[in-house]
């Protein structure tokens, strides 16, 4: 059981910086997801924690132990690889027993723990199988079992669910959560799937281009994105990010969207405050599709638009609207009916809207 502290962790491959001065504290027994698009440095970070990759600069502490110079076999971590890395020349039993036999445990003890793990992973009837004959789902279970069996203090998972079929993925998601609860390990989980990260993790570290974008609980990251990258990456469909102009008229503030109209910053104190902080700058107005409302075209306020496309996605219907210069997505309930080409008006409750600096992409007025 250990907390992981990364400070100023940097990895360079020649001139390319894969991870740039990463500072991250992963508390003991927490489930942390490293989330980001491919190439963002999340797997490299993971490899450095495991010791597979040597850090170029910075520190890696497990509790107070500096492990940066330790080889992977002395770090007491478990690692589940994206492609599972099962030893195909061995049986399932030998794969599960591998870590224990390397640690030279007594044969009876190994046998007991292998059977226990097999039962947990529902692999009892596969134990004597050559692992080359397993299905993808079973390979995944062997991979997790093999890493979990030595009860490492830190458990690292690199996109473990990305190759599984949808039904089994949902099952494994639950199973992983149970497993973490049972073993009380610190878990680091690399994924590019924000839904996976949201549903599994205690905390999410959103990364992009080797840099940490935001680190917080799923709710924080979702509700208070620090910048447009996080805002755009979290949530499906992603947040509407609309460049607009701040207009101050007769003491009231509003957001101008050209021909489409204006949104009044209105009585919402927080938004007023944030908009003042922006003080005349070009801003990006962010609002999640599920927070937008569609109203008849002839009411007051809101932005004028035309329905350009309707996308039914199971539980919801995504309505694409064409404004004068921009397009927005609005998420409605699945029974929602609207015809393409219909003129509508879209309104946004200010309390649920976000404001970003157009130049830097940073959130404005977030403490």
Partner 1 sequence: MTSRPVFFFVRYGLILLALVIVLIPTVWMGTMAFKPFPEWTTATGDLTWLPKEATWGNFEYIFTGQTEDLLVTLDRTAERPILASLLTAVLGTAIAVIAGTLGAYSVSRFKIGNNLPLSVLQLRLFPPLAVMIPVMIMWASLGMVDTWWGLSLIYGIVTLPFAFWLMKTFFDDVPIEIEEAALVEGCSRFRVFWKVTLPMVKAALASTCLFVFILNWSDYLIALLLTRKDWVTIPVYMNSLASAMGGQMYGCKAALGLIAAIPPVVLGIAIQKYLVRGLTFGALKQ
Q: Which spans of this chain sit near partner 1 (rule: CB under 8 A)?
A: 50-52, 71-73, 75, 77-79, 81-90, 98-99, 102-103, 131-132, 134, 136, 139, 146-147, 150, 163
Type and span of the H or E element at 272: helix 269-278
- The nearer residue to partner 1, 50 or 260, going by C-beta atoms, is 50
- Going through 134-288 in order, the beta strands assigned E by DSSP cover 154-158, 186-191, 203-208, 211-216, 240-249, 252-256, 262-264, 282-287
- The nearer residue to partner 1, 54 or 360, going by C-beta atoms, is 54
- The nearer residue to partner 1, 85 or 209, going by C-beta atoms, is 85
The distance of closest approach from Cβ of residue 139 to partner 1 in the complex, given in angstroms and rounded to an integer, is 6
The distance of closest approach from Cβ of residue 156 to partner 1 in the complex, given in angstroms and rounded to an integer, is 8
Helix, coil or strand: residue 202: coil
- Say if residues 165 and 207 touch (Cβ distance below 8 Å): no
The distance of closest approach from Cβ of residue 146 to partner 1 in the complex, given in angstroms and rounded to an integer, is 7
- The nearer residue to partner 1, 89 or 181, going by C-beta atoms, is 89
- The nearer residue to partner 1, 73 or 339, going by C-beta atoms, is 73
Q: Using omega within 30 degrees of 0 as the cis cutoff, is the peptide bond preceding 219 cis?
A: no
The distance of closest approach from Cβ of residue 63 to partner 1 in the complex, given in angstroms and rounded to an integer, is 19
Contacts 24+ apart (CB under 8 A), 27-30: 27/3, 27/186, 28/1, 28/2, 28/3, 28/63, 28/186, 29/1, 29/184, 29/185, 29/186, 30/186, 30/187, 30/202, 30/203
Residue 22's nearest CA partner among 4, 38, 37 is 4
The distance of closest approach from Cβ of residue 14 to partner 1 in the complex, given in angstroms and rounded to an integer, is 12
The distance of closest approach from Cβ of residue 125 to partner 1 in the complex, given in angstroms and rounded to an integer, is 18
- Say if residues 227 and 362 touch (Cβ distance below 8 Å): yes
- Cross-strand bridge partners of residue 286: 241, 354
- The nearer residue to partner 1, 119 or 136, going by C-beta atoms, is 136
Tokens of 102: 């390397």
């Amino acid at each position: 059981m250990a907390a992981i502290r990364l400070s100023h962790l940097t990895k360079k491959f020649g001139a390319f910086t894969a991870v740039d001065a990463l500072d991250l504290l992963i508390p003991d027994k927490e489930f942390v997801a490293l989330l980001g698009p491919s190439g963002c440095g999340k797997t490299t970070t993971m490899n450095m924690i495991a010791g597979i990759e040597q850090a170029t600069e910075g520190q890696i502490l497990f509790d107070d132990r500096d492990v940066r110079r330790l080889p992977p076999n002395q770090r007491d971590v478990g690692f589940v690889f994206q492609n599972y890395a099962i030893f195909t020349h061995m049986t399932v039993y030998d794969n599960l027993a591998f870590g224990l036999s390397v640690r030279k445990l007594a044969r009876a003890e190994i046998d007991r723990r292998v059977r226990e793990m097999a039962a947990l992973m529902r692999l009892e009837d596969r134990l004597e199988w050559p692992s080359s004959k397993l299905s993808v789902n079973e390979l995944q279970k062997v991979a997790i079992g093999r890493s979990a069996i030595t009860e490492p203090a830190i458990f690292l998972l690199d996109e473990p669910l990305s190759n599984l079929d949808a039904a089994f993925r949902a099952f494994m998601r639950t199973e992983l959560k149970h497993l973490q609860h049972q073993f009380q390990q610190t878990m680091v989980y690399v994924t590019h799937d924000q839904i996976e990260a949201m549903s599994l993790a205690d905390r999410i570290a959103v990364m992009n281009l080797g840099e940490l974008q935001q680190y917080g609980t799923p709710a924080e990251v979702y509700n208070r994105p620090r910048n447009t990258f996080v805002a755009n990456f979290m949530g499906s469909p992603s947040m509407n990010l609309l460049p607009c102009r701040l207009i101050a008229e007769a003491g009231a503030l509003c957001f101008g969207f050209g021909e489409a109209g204006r949104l009044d910053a209105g009585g919402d104190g927080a938004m007023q405050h944030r908009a003042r902080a922006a003080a005349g700058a070009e801003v990006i107005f962010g609002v999640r599709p599920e927070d937008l409302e569609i109203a008849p075209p002839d009411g007051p306020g809101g932005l004028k638009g035309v329905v350009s496309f309707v996308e039914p996605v199971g539980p919801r219907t995504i309505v694409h609207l064409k404004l004068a210069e921009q397009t927005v997505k609005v998420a409605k309930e699945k029974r929602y009916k609207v015809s393409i080409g219909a003129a509508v008006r879209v309104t946004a409750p200010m309390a649920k809207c976000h404001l970003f600096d157009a130049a830097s992409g940073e959130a404005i007025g977030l403490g």
